[in-house]
Amino acid sequence: MRSAFEAWAQKDGQIVRRREDKPDEYLVYETQRRWLIWQAALEHGKSPAGRKSAKEATAARAATASAQRPVAMATADAEVRNQVLNEVLDAFQGLGGGGGMDDIMHVIQGLKQKKAQSGE
């Protein structure tokens, strides 16, 4: 998942260098922000039964990081991911971007409420 994000971010001109003291975080704030949005978009695209708790997600990321290379995504999965990611990025653009991490949490909560109201 992280390598797919980094490939996408590099195509968009982002610097994907990670911090030496915290290898799970990116050196550039904007890249870190987009990484959090990417993860939220992937979680938003899953059915509620397919979502993981924070502990399960952390364990899954650690297991994935130790794997050699992630399996290439199917075309349909990539289309869904891009659609959801674009929805999330559009939501952030509507906020103006002055709130930093508060904006991220606001959008994530809004997406959760929207999905709950749609009955999924």
Question: Rounded to whole angstroms, how far apart are CA atoms 95 and 106?
Answer: 9
Q: Higher model confidence: residue 114 or residue 33? A: 33
Residues contacting 47, CB < 8 A, separation 6+: 120
Q: What angle do CA 77, 110, 84 make, to 5 degrees?
A: 15
pLDDT bracket for residue 77 (50, 70, 90): confident
Is residue 81 scored above 70 in pLDDT? yes
Is residue 108 scored above 80 in pLDDT? no
Give the model confidence (pLDDT) of 8-66 as tens digits. 888 888 888 888 898 888 888 888 888 888 888 887 766 544 545 555 666 666 665 55
Is residue 71 scored above 60 in pLDDT? no
HEC per residue, the chain: CHHHHHHHHHHCCCCCCECCCCCCCECCHHHHHHHHHHHHHHHHCCCHHHCCCHHHHHHHHHHHHHCCCCCCCCHHHHHHHHHHHHHHHHHHHHHCCCCCHHHHHHHHHHHHHHHHHCCC
Q: Looking at residue 90, what is its pLDDT?
A: 74
Give the model confidence (pLDDT) of 92-107 as tens digits. 777 665 666 677 777 7
Q: Looking at residue 54, what is its pLDDT?
A: 57
**Residue recorded with tokens 């990081």:** 65
